[in-house]
Structure 1
Amino acid sequence: MEAAIDRIMMTYDLLLNRSAAASAEAREKVTEYVTTLFEAGEKDMHRLTVCGLTYLRELDGTNDPVKAGYTGL
């Protein structure tokens, strides 16, 4: 599980330029989320990584298609 969290944070830090405090806060949130997934039975590191990255992107709003300019038209 720790390897998945490290991979999530390494990738997420490459996507966004954030302060150390923001990175620490994101790590805390994603650790809690990945722990929940792990305890629920998800053991695949790659799935945990993808789910964790998706979770962080949803938190910061970068996964919002409307903000990205997609209107459906």
Structure 2
Amino acid sequence: MEAAIDRIMKTYDLLANRTAAASEEAREKVTQYINTLVEAGEKDTHRLTVCGLTYLRQLDGSIDPVKAGYTGL
């Protein structure tokens, strides 16, 4: 589980520059989320990594095209 969290945070930090406090907050949130997935039975490190990255991108709005700045025009 720690390997997945470390990989998630390394990749997430590469996507955008964040303050140390923002990265720490993201780590806490993704750790709770990954714990939930592990408790539900997920053990695949690669799948946990993808799920964790998707979760963080949803939290920060980078998956939402409108929040990302795309207007469709």
Residue in structure 1 matched with residue 63 of structure 2 by the alignment: 63
User: Which stretches in structure 1 are left out of the alignment for 5+ residues?
Assistant: none
TM-score, length-scaled by structure 2: 0.92
Q: Percent same amino acid at aligned positions?
A: 79
Give the root-mean-square deviation of aligned CA atoms: 1.3
User: Which stretches in structure 2 are left out of the alignment for 5+ residues?
Assistant: none
Moved over 3 A (4+): none
TM-score, length-scaled by structure 1: 0.92
C-alpha separation in 2, matches of 1:31 and 1:70: 33
2:12 maps to amino acid: Y
Residue in structure 1 matched with residue 6 of structure 2 by the alignment: 6
Report whether the alignment pairs 1:26 with 2:26: yes
C-alpha separation in 2, matches of 1:45 and 1:54: 14
2:2 maps to amino acid: E
C-alpha separation in 1, matches of 2:38 and 2:16: 26
C-alpha separation in 2, matches of 1:12 and 1:42: 21
1:33 maps to amino acid: Y
Q: How much has 1:70 moved relative to structure 2?
A: 5.6
Q: How much has 1:66 moved relative to structure 2?
A: 2.4
C-alpha separation in 2, matches of 1:57 and 1:5: 14
C-alpha separation in 1, matches of 2:12 and 2:41: 24
Residue correspondences, number: 72
